[in-house]
Structure 1
Amino acid sequence: MGRFTMAAKHHQTIAEMYETEAVDYEKAVTHYEQAADYFRGEESNSSANKCLLKVAQYAAQLENYEKAIQIYQEVASSALESSLLKYSAKEYLFRAALCHLCVDVLNAQHALERYVQMYPAFQDSREYKLLKTLIEHIEEQNLDGFTEAVKDYDSISRLDQWYTTILLRIKKQLNESPDLR
Structure 2
Amino acid sequence: TFTTLGPHKVEEACEMYCRAANMFKMAKNWNAAGNAFCQAARIHMQLQNKHDSATSFIDAGNAFKKADPSEAIKCLNAAVDIYTDMGRFTIAAKHHITIAEIYESELVDIEKAIAHYEQAADYYKGEESNSSANKCLLKVGAYAAQLEQYAKAIEIYEQVGSSTMDNPLLKYSAKEYFFKASLCHFIVDELNAKLAVEKYEEMFPAFSDSRECKLLKKLLDAHEEQNCEAFTEAIKEFDSISRLDQWQTTMLLRIKKTIQGDEGDLK
TM-score bracket for the superposition, by shorter chain length: over 0.9
What is the rounded CA distance, in whole Å, between the counterparts of 2:144 and 2:248 in structure 1? 13
Gap regions ≥5 residues in structure 1: none
Distance 1:175 1:14, change over 3 A: farther
Cα deviation code 1:128-180 (max 9, x no counterpart)? 00000000010000111111111111111111110111011111122329xxx
Structure with the higher fraction of residues in helix conformation: 1
Q: How far 1:23 moved relative to its partner?
A: 1.7
What is the rounded CA distance, in whole Å, between the counterparts of 2:105 and 2:167 in structure 1? 32
What is the rounded CA distance, in whole Å, between the counterparts of 2:142 and 2:254 in structure 1? 15
Q: How far 1:104 moved relative to its partner?
A: 0.6
Cα deviation code 1:16-47 (max 9, x no counterpart)? 11111122211111110010001111111110
RMSD between aligned residues: 1.2
Query: 1:97·1:108 contact (CA, 8 Å) conserved in 2?
Result: yes
Amino acid at match of 2:175: K
Q: How far 1:102 moved relative to its partner?
A: 0.7
1:93 to 154, 174, 178: 178
The answer to whether structure 1 residue 109 and structure 2 residue 194 are counterparts is yes
What is the rounded CA distance, in whole Å, between the counterparts of 1:116 and 1:2 in structure 2? 41
Amino acid at match of 1:138: H
What is the rounded CA distance, in whole Å, between the counterparts of 1:124 and 1:174 in structure 2? 27
What is the rounded CA distance, in whole Å, between the counterparts of 2:112 and 2:163 in structure 1? 26
Amino acid at match of 1:60: A
Q: How far 1:78 moved relative to its partner?
A: 0.4
The ranges of structure 1 where at least 4 consecutive aligned residues each deviate by more than 4 angstroms after the TM superposition are: none
What is the rounded CA distance, in whole Å, between the counterparts of 1:158 and 1:86 in structure 2? 20
The answer to whether structure 1 residue 41 and structure 2 residue 126 are counterparts is yes
Identity of aligned residues (%): 68
In the other structure, the counterpart of 2:149 is 64
In the TM superposition, what are the counterparts of 1:8-157 in structure 2 within 5 Å? 8-157=93-242
1:172 to 257, 260, 267: 257
Q: How far 1:8 moved relative to its partner?
A: 0.6
Gap regions ≥5 residues in structure 2: 1-85, 263-267
What is the rounded CA distance, in whole Å, between the counterparts of 2:120 and 2:171 in structure 1? 24
Larger radius of gyration: 2
Cα deviation code 1:90-129 (max 9, x no counterpart)? 1000000011101111000100111001110110111000
Q: How far 1:81 moved relative to its partner?
A: 2.4
1:162 to 237, 247, 250: 247
What is the rounded CA distance, in whole Å, between the counterparts of 1:70 and 1:92 in structure 2? 11
What is the rounded CA distance, in whole Å, between the counterparts of 1:98 and 1:108 in structure 2? 7
In the other structure, the counterpart of 2:18 is none
What is the rounded CA distance, in whole Å, between the counterparts of 1:88 and 1:27 in structure 2? 27
Query: 1:2·1:42 contact (CA, 8 Å) conserved in 2?
Result: no
